[in-house]
Structure 1
Amino acid sequence: MTWLLLVVGLVLLVIGADVLVKGAARLASNFGVPALVVGLTVVAFGTSAPELAVSVKAAYSGQAELAIANVVGSNIMNILFILGLSAVISPLLISRQLIRQDVPIMVALSALAVFMAYDGSISRVEAGILAAGLFGYTFFLFYQGKKKGVDVVDEEVEEMLKTNVPMWQNILLVIVGLVLLVLGARWLVQSAVELATAWGINEAVIGLTIVAVGTSLPELVTSVVATMKGQRDIAVGNVVGSNIFNILCVLGISGVVSPTPLLAGEQLASFDIPVMLGVAALCLPLFFIGASLNRIEGLLFLALYTAYVWILIAMTLSLGYLAQLQTAVLFGLVPVVVLYVVVALVLDLRKRRAQVST
């Protein structure tokens, strides 16, 4: 029954987010809100709706560590698994804006999360700073979009707003979407806590794995479908944007509404959140090289995610080979990734210099 609740909760979260985005986007359009603003606010918030619903429910119910673990696990999965899988399917193109603006913002926010959680918790004041940053970032995106021109709108948003639907139907979609999100979040958090109790493990581990994977399903579907359609830049932008919103929106809002500070246990503070920062920082050099993410780099991402989850399971179950596994990853896989990045950067810089000289 617990597993059934978990699966149903995940399904309701995904469907609820989709229904809510469609209803809210069209409702905003009914009130004369420009398509650009709808794309930068309603649709952007919608991709993080499952994470937000789960983290707010967890924080308000007293499972404060689950709230942070959900965000950290989702961000790690978004980069290593979703981008890795998408790149293996087809090499991804990286836009100049992502390299110069969005990825550095993602890295900076990940570093801020490490700093805030260093003492073992994220207070309401710190969460308030993140929430304020959310409004500042949204305003910045809106200003940037207006500067580029109002016609620069995502095709999916334009297609969504083309459909002429009565206002009452849009209001109904918003209500249904919210109800599904609330129910999905309640059942998912309840089943996650029951599983953690039954297995005798920390709630954070469930949040970093099962819950994080479930709430990242919309990003997974969006990125893989975009890649298969040949929209290879959308796949990357979707993941980076989602990670930024997860930190600002999900951590910020769940921390503000939580009656107690969001907890970051020793493992979260010293291992998982730094891993989130590390994989975000890894994007900077890899995205810079050739403004793309090739299949080899996609496989490296998948290998890193497999190693991370494997270590997580070994730590949770106190497996006897944990020390050997950590040594193999630290002195085997990680140096291979670092060596690849250094060699690729050197070759890319030589290629750029050769192009300039000719």
Structure 2
Amino acid sequence: MIKDFGLVAAGIVLLYAGGEVMVQSATRLALLLGISPLVIGLTLVAFGTSAPELAATLAASFKGVGDVAFGNVIGSNIANIGLVLGLVALVSPLKTTFRFITQEMPFMLFVSSLLFLLGRDGYLGRLDGSIFLFLLVLFLFFLFKRDKTLSNLADNQKKEPLSKIILYTAGVFVSIGLLSLGANVLVEGAVNIARHLGVPERVIGLTMVAVGTSLPELVSTLVAAYRRAGDIILGNIIGSNIMNILAILGLTPIIKPFSFSKEGVTVDLSIMIFFSLMAWAMLAHQKRVGRLKGTILLGCYIFYVFYLYQ
């Protein structure tokens, strides 16, 4: 048992290190190439901080523990809004734009609802994964086209030294290695603990593994909050939730289709959508999430975890 807790701790440390390297490398690479802060948050930083969830979900799928694989994504999305957004709002109130409220937030709710429809049967196959990946390509295409990111990219590539681009690209690949190793160690330890204590693997995936793989989001957003980079914060949180569904649950079932227990799935997905709706309503009200709203989000998340373990 002590060994298993050690594995979980080691996995979280490796995930944290990999997430930090990923965020730093991806952010600097994006800035070097002239990508806007909101697009950085919604794409590179969001995918970078979602990489632990991808690695953990793939590892759980190959180990045959579908409840951990699916629960990790759902739990991470809930943690991103309840825990991460709640804590960050307590540190520094967040402001947003009308466009973000009317475009990115509704899209996150759309893909969450789609997952609810496709995941109720307790199985995600290659067709489901293909649908998610197709939507991911559309999302990125319209995002880049709207912000003219591709034209900015072409212009800045001519001005910046190739050595810096190679350096930050290498940092991304190093971080992927750390994240993959950390995810395997974390999943192994978490599943062993679940079996020793008789805790359902679904609950372990929704809480221990989900929070562990959400640490990069938490750390990166807290750092961004300290620097008052609101666009990166909201882009990272909402972008990570979109990436968790479209990228992770797109790639994983294509590589290795997996099944999971139907018990509790409807409830868990409903709670995920509830947190998403609550965040949307809070942002729509005065286009701001202050400390009171952050306290409400964090309180709801603590109550949710308490409910799971009861």
- Does the TM-score normalized on the shorter chain lie above 0.5? yes
More divergent stretch after superposition (247-256 vs 34-43): 34-43
Counterpart-to-counterpart distance in 2, 1:206 and 1:290: 37
Determine if the alignment matches structure 1 residue 251 to structure 2 residue 249: yes
Which residue of structure 1 aligns with residue 174 of structure 2? Answer: 176
Q: Which position in structure 1 is the counterpart of 2:258? A: 261
Instruction: Choose between structure 1 and 2 for higher RCO, CA contacts under 8 A separated by at least 6 residues.
Output: 2
Q: Using the alignment, how far apart are the partners of 1:221 and 1:163 within structure 2? A: 29
SS at the partner of 1:62? coil
- 1:283 corresponds to which of 279, 283, 289: 279
Larger Rg: 1
Change (3 A) 1:209 1:166: closer
Q: Deviations over 1:206-244 (max 9, x none)?
A: 111111111111111122222222223432222111111
Deviations 1:294-339 (A, max 9, x none): 221111111111110110010xxxxxxxxxxxxxxxxxxxxxxxxx
1:310 aligned to which of 298, 302, 306: 306
TM-score in terms of structure 1 length: 0.76
**Matching of residues 1-358 of structure 1 within 5 Å:** 1-20=3-22, 34-36=33-35, 39=40, 41-146=43-148, 150=152, 164-165=163-164, 167=166, 173-258=171-256, 260-267=257-264, 269-314=265-310
**Contact preservation (8 Å) 1:124, 1:261:** no
- Give, in whole Å, the separation in 2 of the partners of 1:209 and 1:189: 12
Query: Matched residues in 2 for 1:25 and 1:240: separation?
Result: 17
Deviation of residue 196 (structure 1)? Answer: 0.9
In the alignment, the residues of structure 1 paired with residue 254 and residue 239 of structure 2 have an alpha-carbon distance, to the nearest angstrom, of 22
Structure 1: 5+ residue stretches without partners: 152-157, 315-358
Q: Which runs of 5+ in 2 are unaligned?
A: none
The answer (yes or no) to whether the contact 1:68–1:264 under 8 Å persists in 2 is no
Mapped partners of 1:174, 1:236: distance in 2: 22
Contact 2:129–2:249 (CA<8 Å) still a contact in 1? yes
Q: 1:135 to 1:4 in 2, by over 3 A?
A: same
Q: How big is the alpha-carbon RMSD for the aligned residues of Structure 1 and Structure 2? A: 3.0
Residues 95 and 24 from structure 1, CA distance in 2 versus in 1: closer, same or farther, beyond 3 angstroms?
Answer: closer
Give distance in 2, aligned partners of 1:233 and 1:24: 16
Residue correspondences, number: 302
Amino acid at match of 2:147: G
